[in-house]
Amino acid sequence: ANGPMTLPAGFNVNQPAGVQPAEMIRINTAIKGDLCAPVPSRLGVLGGDACGFPNGRRLMDDVVEIELLTVAGAAYPVLDGRDADFSFNSAFIDVLTDGVDHNDIAFRHTFPYVAQAQSGQTHIHQNPFATLYLPMIQQMSLSLQVVPNRVQDHPIQSAAAVTFVLLPALAWVTRRRFMS
């Protein structure tokens, strides 16, 4: 039991019988042109376009949405029909979408094909809560403009407030130094 293990003659640990190595699994890139949709679908095979994901990967393919729908069962009807009792619930389509159906900037026609990134200086993201926060921010800026006048009007109270804030902080810092 504690000695060396003996393997049968011809046994290959790296390639068990009947298993095809992963590097030999290929994507079919020789699809006939008539199987490809005339207008490419962002949903690939689920959208009726055999040239799209998962049989290939184009920039416009909505890979995340395709995979979510596939896991939910949307790809099941294109299989060989082993289970006729299964039917995909199309209500999942609206639940599993992110609402983004295309890139907001057109892809390039030459390499590297990826669209230019948004400029942080010219592209403005709209905040849906701006109407809620804007009055609060304006109110804060008004109150900050009043603060210097209050300090000038009441120098002793301001100095006392600073002292009551700084002295405990200073005591805490020095105590930590002496304790360690």
- On whether residue 47 sits in a domain, the answer given is yes
Predicted pLDDT of residue 104: 84
Pure H helices in 33-129: 63-72, 92-95
Residue 114 forms part of a structural domain: no
43, 68, 95 — which closes off a domain?
95
Residues belonging to the chain: 180
Residue 116 belongs to some domain of the structure: no
Peptide bond into 112 cis (omega under 30): yes
State pLDDT tens for residues 50-103: 888 877 778 889 989 988 888 888 877 766 666 677 788 888 888 888 888 888
What is the model's pLDDT at position 32? 67
Q: For each successive 10 residues of the chain (180 residues), what is the average pLDDT?
A: 61 65 60 76 85 82 89 75 75 85 88 83 66 71 53 59 73 69
Instruction: State the Cα–Cα distance between residues 34 and 48, nearest whole angstrom.
Output: 12
Domain-located, residue 112? no
d(CA 131, CA 87) in angstroms, rounded, equals 45
- Does residue 3 lie in a domain region? no
Q: Specify the pLDDT at position 84.
A: 73
Q: Quick one: which of 26, 49, 50 has its CA closest to 39?
A: 49
Q: What is the pTM of this model?
A: 0.49
Distance CA 103, CA 75 (A): 24
Structure tokens at 32: 């006939």
pLDDT of residue 48: 81
Query: Considering the domain boundaries, does residue 111 fall inside one?
Result: no
CA distances from 106 to 41, 79, 103, 115, 127 (A): 16, 34, 7, 6, 24
Q: How far apart are CA 27 and CA 25, in angstroms?
A: 7
Nearest by Cα to 58 from 93, 94, 27 = 27
For residue 172, give its domain range.
130-179
Domain-located, residue 108: no
pLDDT at 136: 73
Residues 134 and 74 in one domain: no
Q: Is residue 5 part of a domain?
A: no
Nearest alpha carbon to residue 32 among 54, 65, 55, 60: 55
Total domain count for the chain? 2
